[in-house]
Every structure is written in C-alpha cells, then in structure tokens.
Structure 1
Amino acid sequence: MFSITVRDHVMVAHSLRGEVFGPAQQRHGATFLVDATFRRPELDPDGIVVDIGLATAQLAETLADLNHRDLDDHPEFAGVNTTTEFLARAIADRLADRIGAGKLGGNAGGLTGLTVTLHESHVAWASYERDL
C-alpha cells in the first residue's frame, strides 16, 4: 500500500460535556496539528498516490470553516461533543466528499483509504481511518 501525508493546523474553541473531561468542560482553545494520509494499492499513471499540492490545498479548504471558530456555535456540531476523535472523523468525511467530487484530480479515484490524525499536543493525538 502506498501513502502520502499532508499537514495543516486548525485553531478552535470549544467545551466538552461530561465529568470525564474535567477542566475541559469549560470553554477553552485548542490548536490541532492535522495530518491527512491518502492510500492506494498502486500508483496512478503519473507514478504518485495523489497530487501533493492538490491534497494540501483541499485539506486547507476543508479546515477553513473550522479555523478560529467556536465549535460550540458551529451549526454542523450542534449538541455534539467535539472531541479530538469526533473531529478527526468529521474532517475525514469532509475530505472524502472532496475526493468524490473530483477536487483531488481525476486519478484520485484510485484512492482506497484515508486517515486523518489530529495532534492535540506532542504527547497525545487521535485518528480516524476510513475506506474510500
């Protein structure tokens, strides 16, 4: 399996409901380093997994409406705990929609998997992996 990973970041505010979250129940800021890994079993006719420039641009566009936002007020996340794990899936699903719409180029149809990893810090991160 071949893969490439592109990276960006997103800065958000949010709060988490539930005793398990301790002080994170209060509204707080978070800066997530976001990695998107695209996978396919064979390289495309150009000898690549996917165009890195397009992948980088599409990740940035995917994150744009989350960046500098209070996720507690984001209509897409109403009533949802925007945990790191939840956000990894939401971003992966948004990227998958862009792949399906052809925004990563015609040869991106050969992609078979996508993993999005959100790094909360240098010691903790969460990922969501999905098939395409």
Structure 2
Amino acid sequence: MYKLMVRRDFIAQHFLTVPNAGPENEWHSHHFTVEVELTGDTLNEYGYLVDIDDVKAGLDEIEHRYSDATLNELDEFAGLNPSVEHFARFCCQRIADHVTAKNVDRIDLRIWEDDDAWASYTMAL
C-alpha cells in the first residue's frame, strides 16, 4: 500500500451555532492545517501514486476559498454548525475533484484547528 501526504495551512474564522458552546459561540479565528493523505495499491507508469501538483491544485482551491473567510457566511455551511467535521468533508470533496489518478483508492483528509484538535473525513474512490 502506497501513501502520499501533502499539507497546507491558512487562517479562517467561524462561530459555532450550537447552544452553550461558550467562547466558541463568538466569532474567532483558527490557524487551520489541512493534511491530505492519498492511498493506493499501485503506482502509475512513472512511479507515482498521484501527481503532487494535482493535490496542490486542490489545496490551492481550498486555500483560495477559505483563507480569511468566515465559514458561517459560505453557501456550503448554510444551515449547518460550521464544525471542523463538516469542514473536513467539504475539503475532502474538493480534493477528490482534483485527483484523477486511477490508482488512488482512498483520500483521508485531516484538518487541525489547533495544536491539539483535529477532525478527518475519508472518501473511498
């Protein structure tokens, strides 16, 4: 099994919409780190699991969409508590749109919202 990981960080804002979340109910920033791990059993004819530039293009799109944004104001979060779990799913779906390698079986995307807390989303391809 082969794995490849690419990482990106950026700052975005949100406020939780659930009751009694304490200071998390107030608008605040996080320095998010997104880690994308791709997994597959085989390499392509060039010895790659996936073209890293394709993964970076997906991360560029994520950074462009979310950097310095307030998640609550974005269409994909409409009606949702802007949790790091939902955020991980939306980012994983964006990466999947950029990965065309047929030998990638799975994408695992992890978002760290600080040094101690992360959420992840896994997508089988």
Q: TM-score, normalised by structure 2?
A: 0.91
2:78 corresponding residue in structure 1: 78
**Residue identity in the other structure for 1:2:** Y
The Cα RMSD (Å) is 1.4
| In structure 1, distance between residues paired with 2:78 and 2:3 | 34
Residue in 1 that maps onto 2:43? 43
In the TM superposition, residue 92 of structure 1 has moved relative to its aligned partner by 0.3
In the alignment, structure 1 residue 131 sits paired with structure 2 residue 124: yes
Structure 2: distance between partners of 1:118 and 1:20: 23
- 1:6 maps to 6
Give deviations 1:53-97, integer Å, cap 9, x for gaps: 332232122331111111111122112111111101110011112
Equivalent residues in 2 for 1:71-110 (5 A)?
71-99=71-99, 102=100, 108-110=101-103
SS state of the match for residue 44, structure 2? coil
- Residue 105 of structure 1 aligns with which residue? none
- Tell me if the contact between 1:118 and 1:127 (Cα under 8 Å) persists in the aligned partners: yes
Give, in angstroms, the shift of residue 3 of structure 1.
Answer: 0.7
Q: Contact 1:3/1:49 (CA < 8 Å) preserved in 2?
A: yes
| Structure 2 unaligned blocks of 5 or more | none
SS in 2 for 1:64: helix
Distance 2:20 2:121 in 1: 21
Q: Counterpart in 1 of 2:53?
A: 53
Aligned length: 125
Letter of the 2:5 partner, please give it.
T
Gaps of at least 5 residues in structure 1 are: 103-107
Aligned partner (choices 101, 109, 114) of residue 116 of structure 1? 109
When you count helix as a share of all residues, which structure comes out higher? 1
Q: 1-side partners of 2:82 and 2:63: how far apart?
A: 14
CA shift, 1:31, in A, is 1.4
Q: Secondary structure at the match of 1:92?
A: helix
CA–CA separation in structure 2 for the residues paired with 1:116 and 1:131: 12
> Structure 1 segments of 4 or more deviating over 4 A?
none
